[in-house]
Amino acid sequence: MRVMRQAMFVLVVVVLFAVAGVWANGRSADEPQTRIIHMTARQYAFEPSTIRANLGDTLVFRLQSADVMHGFYLEGHDVEAVITPQSPYVELRRPSEPDARPQKVEEIVVTADRTGKFRYRCSHTCGTMHPFMMGELVVAPNRLFIASSWGIVGLTAGLAGTALSSRKKQNGA
């Protein structure tokens, strides 16, 4: 019974911290804007390696390769493209429509309509480290990160609280 009460207490503290964190930091101040991103793929990295954007932004990707053929798979946004060296065009396909023909396009337009971290990964085998070739798109406000990091602090505080309150009981007894 006591363990249950303590667990509930810790859980409540964690949730309170997480909610407070998101409440305090979970809104984006900036107006949505359009960002044009000139992305270069090379063995085994993307440049820029990190893109920061805000919810509602429009992202325009122009992709090129500095060496061999690469891919560009953006998590959570139904985008996968093949980048050919020396070509301004990429072959875009939608993973959700596996049978559709790829389109030749010069830019890929993505709306940042969900928050959090989305990795873009090479999707065309390009060499030894290919499976680990990736970059990060971080769309603010990153609620998962805010909630979990405040939650961790809450966890530590909550555990300390339960430990200290058990002292009071001992002293009272």
Partner 1 sequence: MNALETIERRSAAAPTGLPEPSKRTFLTGRRMELFEKFPRLYWLVTRRWFQFAVVVPNLLFFYAFLIAGVFGSPVGNRNIIIIFIWILWWFALITALVPFASRVWCTVCPLPFFGDWIQRRALINVRTGRTCGLQNQMYGLNKKWPKALSNIWLQNIAFLGLCTFSAMLVTRPIVTVWVLGSLIVLAALMAGVFRGRTFCNYVCPISGFLSLFSMTSTLALRSKDLDVCAKCKTKSCSVGSDKGWACPWGIYMGKLDRNNYCGLCMECVKSCPNDNIGLFLRPAMSDTRIKGYDESWKAFIMLTLAAAYSIVLLGPYGIVKDFANVAEVGDWKGFGIYAGGLWLTALAALPAAFAACVWIGRRLAGRSDLGQKEIFLGLSYVFVPMGLLAWIAFSFPLIMINGSYILNVMSDPMGRGWDLFRTAQIHWSPILPEYVGCIQAPLLFLGAFYAIRAGYRFALEKTGTPAVAVRLAAPVSILVTAITLAFLKLFVG
Which one among 10, 14, 63, 133 touches Cu ion, defined by CB under 5 A?
133
- The candidate with the shortest Cα–Cα distance to 44, out of 160, 159, 129, is 129
Q: Determine which residue in the list 97, 128, 172, 173 makes contact with partner 1, applying CB under 8 A.
A: 128
**By C-alpha distance, which of 99, 108, 105, 14 is closest to 61?**
108
Among 97, 167, 172, 173, binds partner 1 (CB under 8 A): 167
Considering only the stretches 20-28, 82-90, 100-108, 127-135, report the one whose residues sit in contact with partner 1 under the rule CB under 8 A. 127-135
In this chain, which stretch among 21-29, 52-60, 70-78, 105-113 interacts with partner 1, using CB under 8 A? 70-78
Please report whether residue 160 would count as binding partner 1 according to CB under 8 A.
yes
Which residues make Cβ contacts (< 8 Å) with residue 69, sequence separation at least 6? Answer: 82, 83, 84, 85, 124, 126
Q: Which stretch binds partner 1 (CB under 8 A): 25-33, 57-65, 84-92, 142-150?
A: 142-150
Residue 160: in which H helix or E strand, if any? Answer: helix 143-172
Sign of the alpha-carbon torsion through 156, 158, 159, 160: positive
Query: Which residue of 36, 95, 109, 111 would you call a contact of partner 1, by CB under 8 A?
Result: 95
**What does the angle CA 96 – CA 79 – CA 35 come to, to the nearest 5 degrees?**
145
Pick from 79, 81, 112, 126 the residue near Cu ion by CB under 5 A: 126
